[in-house]
Amino acid sequence: MDAKDVKAHVGNLEKGVKEKLPAQYLLDILGALKKEVVATEQLLRDTKVGMAVNKLRMNPDKTVSELAKEIVAKWKKDVHSKTKPGSTSDVKKERNSTASPTTGSNPMSPPKPSGKKPDSNSKVDPGKRNKTTDKITWAITSDQVRNNCIGAMYDALVLNELDATSDHIFTLAKAVESSVFSNNKSKTDQPYRRRMQVLFLNLKDTKNNLRSRVVSGEITAERLATMETSEMASAERRKQDQQIIAQNEKDSMMPKSEKSISDQLTCGKCGKKRVSYTQAQTRSADEPMTTFCTCELCGHRWKFS
């Protein structure tokens, strides 16, 4: 499948999501992409098909999301296998670079410089991309704290991104940091650092699709800078939080045993005689029970045997 056909499929995927077409429509397109596309960095960057499929990993339909995950994993392997040192393509390049300019077969002739700088990402596993491997100059301000935060934001955004260029990621990193800095009244104090740390941890979470949503443009840098922690959480984490909330609500509705309240016990703090108590055997059976007391008026607690 050539780039033109892949772009057509990308358009159909976006149409299916936008118009909420049946899941089978998306599955047919994804099936064709999985079967017919052998991913390369150039193809993914030119067609943006990686971003389109990546968005479907969080599709409500489980069949669609699982197939999208399979395709993304397959394409990562395709790209990685083509960039491993010692691969067939690398051997051919090495042979060509050492060939004689006149005969093309003299292995002792020194290689001629091509005059073109290699792509900084061409030999890097997408899961290991960072500001250093991509040769990013992140120290662009006069403040070292801000520079470190820009670099950290780049590392978080570039993780596992197959078809996002270094320029695109760096632009996003700068925009996110700038928005946080402005929202914090142009100060690099503790609230600024804490906010950048929260963003970094959520973006680097491999179980969270927040990073992909930012890189694809679904979430702007300005919006990300002001998002609540609950909004940034992964779908799995939000589900867990909702279960905890539901359980707490359920527990709060459960009837509670009535406390035993005595007017024979006097609070040693406020002197009132409205004291609730419970008893438990905390020592051996032949010892008296321990009585735990709570003043219902001032909250003072004590115990006696």
Angle between helices 23-36 and 3-18 (to 10 degrees): 160
pLDDT value at residue 253: 66
d(CA 133, CA 119) in angstroms, rounded, equals 11
Q: Residue 287: pLDDT above 90?
A: no
238 pLDDT tier (thresholds 50, 70, 90): confident
252 pLDDT tier (thresholds 50, 70, 90): low
More confident residue, 40 or 99: 40
More confident residue, 105 or 184: 184
Share above pLDDT 70 across residues of the chain, in percent, rounded to a whole number: 83
pLDDT value at residue 239: 79
Q: Determine the average pLDDT of the residues in 56-66.
A: 84
Q: Determine the average pLDDT of the residues in 218-231.
A: 90
CATH number at residue 271: 2.20.25.10
Contacts of 53 (CB under 8 A, 6+ apart): 13, 30, 33, 68, 71, 72, 75
Q: Give the position of tokens 């090495």.
A: 94
pLDDT value at residue 117: 34
pLDDT value at residue 108: 32
More confident residue, 136 or 161: 136
137 pLDDT tier (thresholds 50, 70, 90): very high
- Number of structural domains the chain divides into: 3
Q: Are residues 179 and 136 in the same domain?
A: yes
Note down the domain range covering 287.
260-304
Q: Are residues 209 and 272 in the same domain?
A: no
Choose the most confident range, by mean pLDDT, from 187-196, 205-214, 288-297. Answer: 187-196
Q: Residue 255: pLDDT above 70?
A: no
Q: Residue 196: pLDDT above 90?
A: yes
Q: Please write the tens of the pLDDT for every residue from 71-128.
A: 888 888 877 776 555 444 444 443 444 333 333 333 333 333 333 333 444 456 767 8
256 pLDDT tier (thresholds 50, 70, 90): low
Inside any domain, residue 20: yes
pLDDT value at residue 83: 55
Chain centre distance of CA 86: 32
Per the prediction, the chain carries an average pLDDT of: 79
195 pLDDT tier (thresholds 50, 70, 90): very high
Could you list the beta-strand ranges (E) of 173-286: 260-262, 275-280
Q: Are residues 227 and 274 in the same domain?
A: no
Q: Please write the tens of the pLDDT for every residue from 145-174.
A: 999 999 999 999 998 877 789 999 999 999
Inside any domain, residue 218: yes
pLDDT value at residue 71: 86
Q: Are residues 153 and 234 in the same domain?
A: yes
Helix, coil or strand: residue 258: coil
pLDDT value at residue 111: 35
Query: Of 85, 114, 142, at which residue does a domain stop?
Result: 85
Inside any domain, residue 255: no
Inside any domain, residue 279: yes
Q: Are residues 234 and 181 in the same domain?
A: yes
Q: Are residues 222 and 300 in the same domain?
A: no
Inside any domain, residue 94: no
d(CA 292, CA 303) in angstroms, rounded, equals 4
Inside any domain, residue 203: yes
Query: Of 184, 210, 240, at which residue does a domain stop?
Result: 240
Q: Determine the average pLDDT of the residues in 23-40.
A: 84
Q: Are residues 43 and 135 in the same domain?
A: no
Inside any domain, residue 248: no
pLDDT value at residue 118: 34
Q: Determine the average pLDDT of the residues in 239-246.
A: 78
Q: Are residues 197 and 267 in the same domain?
A: no
Backbone angles phi, psi at 304, to 5 degrees: -155, 160
Inside any domain, residue 139: yes
pLDDT value at residue 240: 79
pLDDT value at residue 258: 61
